[in-house]
Structure formats: structure tokens, C-alpha cells
Amino acid sequence: MSPQTHQEERETGDEGYRRVFAVPEFRAVFAAHAMSLLGVVVSEIALTVLVYDLTGSPLLSALAFALGMLPYLVGGTLFAGVADRFAPRRVLVVCDLLCAGCAALMALPMTPVAGLLALRCLIAAVAPVFNGTRMATLTDVLGDGDLFVLGRSLLRMVSQSAVLVGFGLGGVLLTVVSPRGALVVTVATFAASALLLRCGTKRRPARGSGPGGGAPGQAVPQPALVRYSLAGARDVLAHRRVRALLLLLWAPPMFAVAPEALAAPYAEQIGVGTAGVGLLMCAMPIGTIAGEVYAGSALTSAARARIVLPLAATTLLPLLAYGFTPGLAWALPALVLAGAGSAYTLGLDRWFVDAVPPELRGRAMTVHTAGLMTLQGAGMALAGLAAEFFAVSTVVAGAGVLGTVCCLFLAREVRATAGAAAGAAPSRPPSSPLPSSSPSSSSASSSSSSSPSPSAPFSPGDGGGPNGETGADRYVAGD
């Protein structure tokens, strides 16, 4: 190990966070993320209130909120190819402008309820393409090493913070302006995000840089977008290691949503009222932010890699405390502890980006986003269904047990594929170089050389090991 690499390995995340913000392009991406997230939060609140005002129907009002998750699977699978086929900056700007246009149509007084719901679906279908493209772009801006991990961590912390303060700010806004007026604010936030991305990031070619998405200079017929998207998703899910990493990224959040989804009925079960509902919903995001801040600021890259599998396998265990029907004094620390366990994602993000070649990253990140949101929505629905037949405390504890079992199996699979990946790593094909489009990339790539889990050459169906698998034979529904 060279002295430079050794020094980088010893750097803490606090220094890394400062290095991340030292990259001008990341500052633009970070500010745009905050603006677009604000737009999404305000539009969700305003649309829910607006639909209820127009119809008086709790069902339609809830549907307006739920439609923010349901179309993720459609957009993330059918349109994932957009992230690799077109220049990333153009994709990000067009997605923001499309969302701004949808919000503008929602704000018009003549837009009917059916139109409002359809426009909400369109925004939700665009979201995984935007998020996947932005995640892949981070590897261009920050490299695919430790800076990428810390940059992703910062964006996640902004998203978790939105849970804590975004809805409160949206509620305050609605005391000043009408719901349609709040949607006009959403238009402005999406437009501001588009402007930041257009002026603050570099123009880069599409990752599938050949005319048909092949290697540079290779002229091949361009497949239809949907076919290209589905082929990319199939290639991602057919690779044993990438599939295992995706499932480990998806599984804990799917089960962790149970206490948040059932916060209101659990508060009623233990008799703490509406104030308790707010505390129960805030506890896990607080733990998540605290865990990521600690892992990013106090641990080295190697230490973050070492805690991935132990934390992923045990992060849901605190939910077992619900089996004793605890009051707030015990339930809140359990939720904070469960949230803190999500610090495993910092190291897992590094492994994931190492395992996916650059030409597939846009589609892989989009599939990741679509699966995560879809499975979280499914987790909420299943928790609600189970609570129709069992006590809420039993359902949450059961989610902790079942989720831990799933995570143990997935951690074992990730460990098994790590050995095969490490053995095959030196033969990475030259057609899949790591991106190095900025000065920051070189420093991140140098620390990447000491990654505890190098990636195998990516060949759809090779399974990342000696026992190849073809197609998506182990596909599990679900970012």
C-alpha cells in the first residue's frame, strides 16, 4: 500500500465531508437536491389537502399521497434506459422541467381531480429516472471511491431531514397560501433545481456512448427505449453479486417502515395521543441521521466496510422490543437504535458502485431507486394489512424477526459473492474503466484501490462466480 493510499485510508469522514463540499459540481448537485426535495414535499402536502378540499373523500386524499410511491416501479423499469442513453445533465434538467410543468398544471384552477392524480403519477414515474441519473452522475463528479460514499450519505441525510422538518414547513406554508398557491412554490423549486444543474454541472456524454448504446466507436442499431431499459434491468438483476447487494439495500427499509406506517394505531394502543404519533415517526429518521453522521465522520473507509454485514444483519433487532408493548420511554430509543443501524449503507454503497460497470450505472441506480421505493410502499401496505388481524405491537415485532432472518440470508449471500468477486477482480475488462472526469475522481479512485470488496467483471448471467446463472432467475420483486 502506497503512503498516499495509506494516508487516505486513515482520513476520517469529517475530512472527507469537507473534501466533498470542496468540489464545485457537488455543491450544485447538493443544492439542487435540496430544492427539488422541497418541491416534492410541498407538492405532496398541498395536493393531499387540495384533493380533500375538492372531494371531501379521505380515500382520494390518501390516494393522492400514495401515488407518490406506486409508479416508481413502472418508471424505474420501463424508462431506466434514459439514464444511460442520454447525456446525464440533459436528463436531470429535463426531468426537473417536466416536474415543474406538471406542478404548474396542478396549480391551474380548472384542473380536475382526475387530472391532479394523473399528474402526480407522472411526477412519481419521472422520479426514479432523475434519482438514478443523479446517483450515477455522482460517480462522475466525485469518482467511485470514498468521496462518492460520503456524497451519497449527505444526500440521504437531506432526505431524512425532510421527514423531520419538510412536512412541518409545508403545513406552515398552507396557513399562508392556498394549496394551489403552494403548488406554485413547487414550480419555482423545480425550476431552481433545473437551473442549478444546468449551470453548475459539466456536460458529459451518455454512458452508453456508442450510437446504439454500445462501446465508443461501435455503430450498432439503437433498440427501443423500453427494450433497452428492460435489458439493462435484466443484466443488472442477472448478476449474482449485484443482485445480492441490491437486495441487501432494499430489505431492511422494507421492514423498517412498519413502525412508521403504524405509528398512529400504536400511539392509540399505548394511549399517548397525537403528540406521541409525531415522536414515533421522527425517532427512526433521527437515528438514521445520527448513524450516518457518525459513520461518515468518525470511521475510515475500511472501518465502514467492516461494519456493513454485522449492521445490516442486526439493524432490525431493536424492533423486537415492540413485542413487549413498550411505552414511549422504551419505544423511542428502540426506533432511534434501529435507524442508527442504517449506517451500513455507506459501505454497501461503495461495494455496489464497484460492482457495476460505468456503462450500466445509470440503469442500475434507477433500478435501485425504483425497487427501494416500491418495496417500502409494499412494506407499509403489508404492515397495515397484518395490523387488521394482529395487535400493532405484534406486527412490528414480527417485522423485526422476519426482516432479520431475511437480512441474515442476504448478508451470507453478499459474503459468498465477495470471495468470487475478489478472485476475479484483476480481469476487469478494459472496456469498463472507472470514471475519472474530475480532479476529485483521481483521489477517490486511489482510495478505491484498497477497497475491501473489489468487483468482478460484469457479464450478464455470469453470476459473479463459478456457477453462472442466466436471466433473472433469482429476481425478487422490488428501489
- HEC states along the chain? CCHHHHHHHHCCHHHHHHHHHCCHHHHHHHHHHHHHHHHHHHHHHHHHHHHHHHHCCHHHHHHHHHCCCCCHHHHHHHCCCHHHHCCHHHHHHHHHHHHHHHHHHHHCCCCCHHHHHHHHHHHHHHHHHHHHHHHHHHHHHHCCCHHHHHHHHHHHHHHHHHHHHHHHHHHHHHCCCCHHHHHHHHHHHHHHHHHHHHHHCCCCCCCCCCCCCCCCCCCCCCCCHHHHHHHHHHHHHHCHHHHHHHHHHHHHHHHHCHHHHCHHHHHHHHCCHHHHHHHHHHHHHHHHHHHHHHHHHHCCHHHHHHCHHHHHHHCCHHHHHHHHCCCHHHHHHHHHHHHHHHHHHHHHHHHHHHHCCHHHHHHHHHHHHHHHHHHHHHHHHHHHHHHCCCCHHHHHHHHHHHHHHHHHHHHHHHHHHHHHHHHHHHHCCCCCCCCCCCHHHHHHHHHHCCCCCCCCCCCCCCCCCCCCCCCCCCCCCCC
Asked if residue 331 has pLDDT above 50, the reply is: yes
pTM: 0.68
pLDDT of residue 462 exceeding 50: no
For position 249, what pLDDT does the model report?
Answer: 92
- Joined together, the cell numbers standing for residue 310 give 454485522
Q: Is pLDDT at 195 greater than 90 in this prediction?
A: yes
Residue 101 burial (C-beta neighbours within 10 Å; 0-12, 13-18, 19+)? middle
The pLDDT value recorded for residue 447 is 40
What's the rounded mean pLDDT across residues 286-314? 89
Per-residue pLDDT tens over the stretch 140-165: 888 767 788 888 888 888 877 776 67
Q: Residue 176 — pLDDT band, cuts 50, 70, 90?
A: confident
The pLDDT of residue 213: 43
Radius of gyration of the chain (CA): 22
The sign one gets for the Cα dihedral 237, 240, 241, 243 is: positive
Does residue 281 surpass a pLDDT of 70?
A: yes
Is the per-residue pLDDT at 133 higher than 90? no
pLDDT at 127: 82
Contact assessment for residue 257 and residue 288, using Cβ atoms and an 8 Å cutoff: no
Determine the CATH number of domain 3-204+228-428+438-448. Answer: 1.20.1250.20
Q: Does 124 score more than 70 pLDDT?
A: yes
| List of residues 6+ apart from 439 with CB closer than 8 A | none
Under the banding of pLDDT at 50, 70 and 90, the label for residue 230 is confident
399 to 54, 245, 336: CA distances (angstroms): 37, 21, 16
Taking CA atoms, 446 is separated from 30, 402, 416, 449, 476, in Å, by: 24, 40, 26, 5, 35
Determine which of 17-26, 43-52, 292-301, 433-442 has the lowest per-residue pLDDT on average: 433-442
pLDDT over 70 (residue 220): no
